[in-house]
């Protein structure tokens, strides 16, 4: 084999360097590189810090921004998307972490400004985006075809439950004229109803429609939205009469859901397509004996731990937001224990979240806070002490959820 000369070696080296730079350039362009956060993210201030090893996840209602911070408030990762040119305010909602068989995934809801919002401020039609542990997009999810929706019908952004990458429960809002509202059987009534769909390997396993249960019409309240019970369609084209906003699966495999305009948490049986409502907690048809003072009002973000239920209780009826917690006895349909936690002066009219980190230390996302610009805090109720807070410069662009994950 002929030995290369000096000039030939230099040429080959130069070509190799150019090729390497080209590879680096291509790879870097496929990586998520959102740029300078100070140029695109909402302005926020972190006060205090914690030793928590997990991360804080922020999502915004009216801008396409999701943010991950550590327990000291340092920026870990973020994603920014440009606002649509049609002038419709859209957001990335419900940024969360999933752990499946030891593998970490993330997801968020990407609102599509071209979809019909049915005139609802609190509806964000779009797609669920799944990311891998390196924040690389691996999947986008919409509804599968069923008797109710076509394949590709947009999801709502309030919540999403992931069992694995091919098995999940999705939520949506559907507008329809129905003829089973008491008093409007002959004329009919336009309504916006809740639709839930469980899919595995592309096949619909189970779904639920709130209009299949006409007894729910009488439970609609107007604590949050004055037109929620406008079944005569006098003030709105179609009332958002239940307003689904959260779900969890309990140890029995039932789906526990929060319905803001019913002031009610429902337990839904995922093993059947009929008689799916197993029980109602809070609201005008409460089955567990809660007192009026204990009942929720316009609650959001339900969580489940064994037989205990917790919710972020916006409590629009009194404008005194709190955390609602109770432990239930399903056999006797009774409340075994009940607690509520609140911070004086706090009222959140929409959105929000509550998580118990340990003991009586909570992560609280304040959503549409009405009395200040705090969007999140870590609060120790035993010490009545705020350990960390995040304040927004502009509360007009409020957070959908601020949550904590280990």
Residue 23 has pLDDT above 70, yes or no: no
Check residue 84 and give its pLDDT.
82
Check residue 28 and give its pLDDT.
34
- pLDDT, the chain, mean: 92
Check residue 85 and give its pLDDT.
74
**How far, in Å, CA of 217 to CA of 236, rounded?**
16
Check residue 87 and give its pLDDT.
77
Contact predicate 147/141, CB 8 Å: no
Q: In this predicted model, which residue has the larger pLDDT, 89 or 17? A: 89
Q: In this predicted model, which residue has the larger pLDDT, 255 or 34? A: 255
Contact predicate 91/63, CB 8 Å: yes
Range scoring the smallest mean pLDDT among 27-41, 256-270, 350-364: 27-41
Position 298 confidence tier, pLDDT thresholds 50, 70, 90 = very high
Retrieve residue 308's tokens.
């205990």
Residue 24 has pLDDT above 60, yes or no: no
Q: CA nearest 228: which of 207, 210, 212? A: 210
Over range 145-157, report the average pLDDT.
97
Residue 11 has pLDDT above 80, yes or no: no
pLDDT over 70, % of the chain: 91
User: What is the pTM (predicted TM-score) of this model?
Assistant: 0.90
**How far, in Å, CA of 129 to CA of 109, rounded?**
6
Residue 96 has pLDDT above 90, yes or no: yes
Over range 164-191, report the average pLDDT.
98
Over range 8-20, report the average pLDDT.
42
Check residue 34 and give its pLDDT.
52
Check residue 118 and give its pLDDT.
95
User: Which DSSP string do the residues of 199-219 spell out, in sequence order?
Assistant: EETTEEEEEEEGGG-GGGGGG
């Amino acid at each position: 084999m002929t030995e290369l000369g000096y000039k030939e070696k230099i040429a080959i080296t130069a070509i190799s360097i150019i090729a390497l730079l080209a590879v680096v350039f291509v790879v870097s362009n496929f990586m998520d590189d959102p740029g300078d956060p100070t140029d695109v993210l909402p302005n926020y201030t972190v006060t205090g810090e914690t030793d928590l090893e997990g991360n804080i996840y922020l999502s915004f209602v009216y801008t396409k921004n999701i943010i991950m911070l550590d327990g000291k408030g340092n920026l870990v990762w973020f994603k920014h998307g440009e606002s649509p040119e049609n002038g419709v305010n859209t957001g990335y909602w419900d940024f969360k972490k999933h752990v499946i068989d030891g593998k970490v995934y993330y997801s968020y809801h990407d609102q599509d400004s071209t979809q019909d919002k049915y005139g609802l401020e609190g509806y964000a039609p779009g797609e669920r985006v799944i990311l891998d542990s390196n924040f690389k997009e691996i999947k986008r999810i919409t509804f599968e075809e069923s008797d109710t929706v076509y394949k590709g019908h947009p999801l709502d952004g309030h919540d999403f439950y992931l069992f694995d990458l091919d098995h999940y429960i999705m939520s949506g809002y559907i507008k329809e004229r129905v003829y089973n509202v008491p008093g409007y059987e002959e004329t009919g009534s336009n309504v916006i109803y809740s639709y839930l769909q469980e899919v595995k390997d592309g096949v619909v396993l189970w779904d639920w429609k709130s209009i299949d249960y006409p007894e729910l019409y009488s439970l609609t309240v107007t604590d949050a939205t004055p037109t929620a019970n406008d079944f005569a369609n006098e003030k709105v084209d179609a009332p958002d009469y239940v307003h689904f906003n959260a779900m969890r699966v309990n140890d029995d495999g039932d789906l526990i859901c929060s319905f803001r305009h019913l002031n009610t948490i429902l337990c839904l049986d995922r093993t059947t397509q009929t008689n799916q409502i197993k029980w109602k907690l809070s609201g005008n048809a409460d089955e567990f004996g809660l007192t009026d003072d204990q009942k929720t009002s316009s609650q959001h973000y339900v969580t489940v731990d064994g037989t205990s239920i917790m919710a972020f209780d916006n409590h629009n009826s009194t404008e005194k937001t709190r955390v609602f917690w109770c432990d239930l006895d399903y056999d006797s349909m009774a409340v075994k224990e009940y607690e509520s936690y609140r911070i004086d002066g706090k009222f959140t009219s929409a959105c929000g979240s509550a998580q118990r980190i340990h003991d009586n230390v909570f992560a609280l996302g304040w959503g549409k806070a009405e009395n200040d610009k705090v969007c999140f805090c870590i609060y120790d109720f035993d010490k009545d002490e705020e350990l960390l807070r995040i304040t927004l410069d502009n509360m007009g662009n409020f957070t959908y959820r601020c949550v904590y994950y280990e």
